[in-house]
Amino acid sequence: MQKVIEIKDLTKRFKSNEVLKGLSLSVQKGENLVLIGKSGEGKSVTLKCITGLMTTDGGSIKVFDKEVASLNEDELKDMRCRIGFLFQGSALYDSMTVKENLAFPLRRVLRMKDEKEIDERSRQVLEAVGLIDTINKMPGELSGGMRKRLALARTLIVHPEIILYDEPTTGLDTITSREISELILEMKEKYNTTSLIVTHDIPCAKIVADRIVVMRDGKSVADGKTKDLENSTDDFIRSFFN
């Protein structure tokens, strides 16, 4: 299968604090890879390095077979247009309506000007995430789960090939977390996306993952299917699933 993300021996430090200490992983086209580990392991940092939002200190990151560190500004912009990033806090524009939040990336990223097409695309993604009735509301009028759905709709609206999820269910109750997890799976099947999902939510991981990578001390220490990791002989790995 084709690797759309390939990370080898990645290192990243913040002054004297070395967060990533030789992380290696790959994501195959069309799969959901979940990255888990204790807090402070550098999972979110990894996502930012993949998109070039953070520079790395060593190792290699290839996205679509291109070395991220060697891309110029225009090439980096082109790569980012093919990647959706669902931020932990949703990062919605509270001064814009739901419709305006969706139109923004269409105008800014895709340079779309046809208002009819913008409206049609906005309605399509809102239908997909079950939020069509909120199109004229403000984000502040939405529940936490609805804001997550809107953030996912805004990510999907530019038709990304890869989606990076940073803690997609954080702060949500158990039922809403499950709904968002099932929605992630549904959107993958509907839009044929490839996803890298950072989460502490093991029930979410079990729902969405084709494969799970476990991090420890800034490195990958396990890579496999959920059932394989649940039955691991390593107490640290097994502890995530018990």
Q: What is the dihedral of CA 32, 170, 159, 82, to 10 degrees?
A: -70
Which tens digit of pLDDT belongs to each residue from 24-78? 999 999 999 999 999 889 999 999 999 999 999 999 999 999 999 999 999 999 9
SS3 89: coil
pLDDT number for residue 30 = 94
- pLDDT value at position 241? 86
The pair of structure tokens assigned to 100 is 């305006």
Predicted local distance difference test score (pLDDT) of residue 88: 77
Q: Residue 141 corresponds to which tokens in the numbers above?
A: 């009028």
Could you give the domains of the chain?
Answer: 1-82+195-242 (3.40.50.300)
Give the integer Cα–Cα distance in Å for 78 and 137: 32
pLDDT at res. 91: 80
Give residue-wise pLDDT tens across range 81-106: 999 988 777 788 889 999 999 999 99
In the chain, the amino acid numbered 164 is L
* pLDDT tens by residue, 163-196: 999 999 988 899 999 999 998 998 899 888 999 9
